[in-house]
């Protein structure tokens, strides 16, 4: 590609990009999304990483538990395959001892199919994506990712495609959500992590975070963390539309001290701004998409009980989890290692009350758009925080080590697979 061609792409990219939102399977009610199809009920799925289950709860109100799905019904078969393959076994045990904190990682991310009949799940320790039939609990299809670990996913706005990060092969696979057939893939930086579709489905963003499982966390050793960048591809061709080196933008903003490993992100409803967390930092930054530059930084309070020893941060993530209110005026931030959640006013960046939470690891928007729902991974519960007041509304017990929380749909009257 010539320099002129690259310049032309950069110049037209913001106009082509359109509005971008953090895909949550189906846009929460109250944001202009269509009502659920007849016969479907909107719910929230909570992935219990160490247990291998997904709890299904009401998407608003009391967030009461509705049912539970076993996402590893084929566990014995998968383990037999792994233990017969020394290479697979090495990575399997590495995941257990590293990111799994001594546990197998059995569910990372999940989305429902458009008809609400199946739950599509990425399973890190099994290096695959599976579709679980919500009526029977059986596996409809299985897609082994390249490499040895599956990670974050995203679903297209029309619900027909799901993207999954294959973190050890630096690849994102895009699958047909109904059949599991691969429709495309693309290369990324080291250790692809978060994925985000644009609102019109034309672009897909991937954030690579580099090596986060080593103890070489001192800034002096930053060069060992690998190639970290944002890769944006055209979903028609899966070719790069733009590659963003956040290291350059951080340096230009005067924050060479911050890591360029971009963790969870949230976009404004019009797609003009992206808010993002980075490794080791108790706060977040604001990025202007059209201007291609960082415009503001927000440092959030430190918990005096939190160690400054970076090696004690789980997978380098001091803060991990963000969501934005449907009208774009509030940000909900999970202060993972500092053990609180707070709602931040987007205009002023003033934080609200610090709501105590036990290792909060994700934040999403409730079905009615009124609350931020966070997973408290160290307390085995999810908690709803009111966007308007920043106060806790309710906590609901779930399974072992909840992480990702997503909005989806199940058939009306559904209470769990029949084989459960």
Q: How confident is the model at residue 410 (pLDDT cuts 50, 70, 90)?
A: very high
Q: How confident is the model at residue 214 (pLDDT cuts 50, 70, 90)?
A: confident
Measured CA to CA, the distance from residue 77 to residue 113 in angstroms comes to: 25
Measured CA to CA, the distance from residue 365 to residue 335 in angstroms comes to: 17
- CA 367 to mean position of chain CA atoms: 17
Q: How confident is the model at residue 217 (pLDDT cuts 50, 70, 90)?
A: low
Q: What angle do CA 288, 290, 292 make, to 5 degrees?
A: 60
Mean pLDDT to the nearest integer, 185-192: 97
**Average model confidence (pLDDT) for the chain?**
91
Identify which of 312, 383, 385 has the alpha carbon closest to the alpha carbon of residue 342.
385
pLDDT at 22 over 70: no
Measured CA to CA, the distance from residue 262 to residue 309 in angstroms comes to: 20
| Backbone φ/ψ region at 243: left (φ over 0), alpha (ψ -120 to 50), beta | beta
Please classify residue 305 by burial: count the beta carbons closer than 10 Å to its beta carbon, then call 0-12 exposed, 13-18 middle and 19+ buried: exposed
pTM comes to 0.91
Q: pLDDT tens across 145-174, in order?
A: 999 999 999 999 999 999 999 999 999 999
CATH number belonging to domain 42-411? 2.130.10.10
Measured CA to CA, the distance from residue 56 to residue 70 in angstroms comes to: 11
pLDDT at 18 over 80: no
Structure tokens at 174: 């895009």
What's residue 365's pLDDT? Answer: 98
- CA 200 to mean position of chain CA atoms: 19
For the chain, what are the domain ranges? Answer: 42-411
- Kindly tell me the sign of the dihedral angle through the C-alpha atoms of 281, 396, 29, 110: positive
3-state secondary structure the chain: CCHHHHHHHHHHHHHHHCCECCCCCCCCCCCCCCCCCCCEEEEEEEEECCCCEEEEEECCCCCCEEEEEECCCCHHHHHHHHHCCHHHHHHHHHHHHCCCCCCCCCCCEEEECCCCCEEEEEEHHHCEEEEEECCCCCEEEEEECCCCCEEEEEECCCCCEEEEEECCCCEEEEEECCCCCEEEEEECCCCEEEEEEECCCCEEEEEECCCCCCCCCCHHHHHHHCCCCEEEEECCCCCEEEEECHHHHHHHCCCCCCCCCEEEEEECCCCCEEEEEECCCCEEEEEECCCCEEEEEEECCCCCCCCCCHHHCHHHCCCCCEEECCCCCEEEEEECCCCEEEEEECCCCCECCCEECCCEEEEEECCCCCEEEEEECCCCEEEEEECCCCCEEEEEECCCCEEEEEEEEEECCCCCCCCC
Instruction: Kindly report the length of the chain.
Output: 420
- To which residue do tokens 């609350």 refer? 371
Q: How confident is the model at residue 35 (pLDDT cuts 50, 70, 90)?
A: low
pLDDT at 12 over 60: no
- Kindly tell me the sign of the dihedral angle through the C-alpha atoms of 336, 342, 348, 350: negative
Measured CA to CA, the distance from residue 312 to residue 308 in angstroms comes to: 8
Q: What percent of the chain has pLDDT over 70?
A: 91
What's residue 26's pLDDT? Answer: 31
């Amino acid at each position: 590609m010539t320099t002129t061609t690259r310049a032309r792409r950069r110049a037209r990219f913001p106009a082509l990009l359109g509005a971008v939102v953090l895909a949550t399977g189906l846009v929460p009610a109250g944001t202009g999304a269509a009502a659920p199809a007849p016969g479907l009920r909107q719910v929230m799925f909570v992935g219990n990483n160490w247990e291998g289950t997904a709890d299904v709860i009401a998407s608003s109100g009391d967030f009461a538990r509705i049912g539970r799905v076993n996402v590893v019904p084929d566990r014995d078969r998968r383990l037999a395959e792994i233990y017969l393959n020394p290479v697979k076994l090495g990575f399997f045990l590495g995941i257990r001892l590293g990111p799994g904190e001594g546990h197998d990682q059995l569910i990372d991310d999940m989305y429902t199919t458009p008809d609400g009949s199946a739950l599509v799940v990425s399973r890190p320790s099994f290096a695959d994506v599976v579709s679980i039939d919500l009526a029977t609990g059986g596996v409809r299809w299985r897609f082994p990712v390249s490499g040895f670990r599956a990670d974050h996913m995203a679903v297209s706005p029309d619900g027909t495609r799901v993207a999954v990060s294959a973190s050890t092969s630096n690849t994102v696979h895009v699958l047909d959500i109904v059949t599991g057939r691969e429709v495309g893939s693309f290369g990324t930086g080291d250790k692809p992590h978060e994925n985000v579709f644009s609102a019109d489905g034309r672009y897909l963003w991937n954030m690579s975070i580099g090596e986060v499982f080593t103890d070489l966390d001192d800034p002096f050793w930053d060069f060992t963390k690998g190639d970290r960048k944002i890769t944006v591809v055209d979903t028609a061709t899966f070719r790069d539309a733009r590659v963003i080196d956040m290291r350059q933008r951080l340096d230009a903003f005067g924050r060479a001290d911050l890591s360029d490993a971009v963790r969870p992100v949230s976009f404004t409803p019009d797609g003009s701004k992206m808010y993002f967390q980075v490794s080791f930092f108790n706060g977040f930054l604001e990025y202007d998409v059209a201007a291609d530059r960082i415009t503001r930084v927000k440092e959030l309070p430190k918990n005096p009980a939190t160690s400054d020893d970076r090696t004690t941060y789980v997978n380098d993530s001091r803060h991990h989890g963000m969501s934005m209110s449907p009208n774009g005026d509030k940000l909900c931030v999970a202060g993972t290692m500092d053990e609180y959640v707070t709602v931040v006013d987007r205009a002023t960046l003033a934080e609200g009350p610090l709501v105590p939470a036990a290792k909060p690891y994700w934040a999403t928007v409730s079905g009615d758009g009124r609350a931020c729902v966070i997973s408290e991974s160290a307390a085995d519960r999810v908690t709803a925080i009111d966007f308007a007041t920043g106060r806790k509304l309710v906590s609901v017990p779930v399974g072992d080590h909840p992480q990702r929380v997503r909005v989806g749909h199940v058939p009306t009257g559904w209470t769990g697979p029949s084989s459960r």
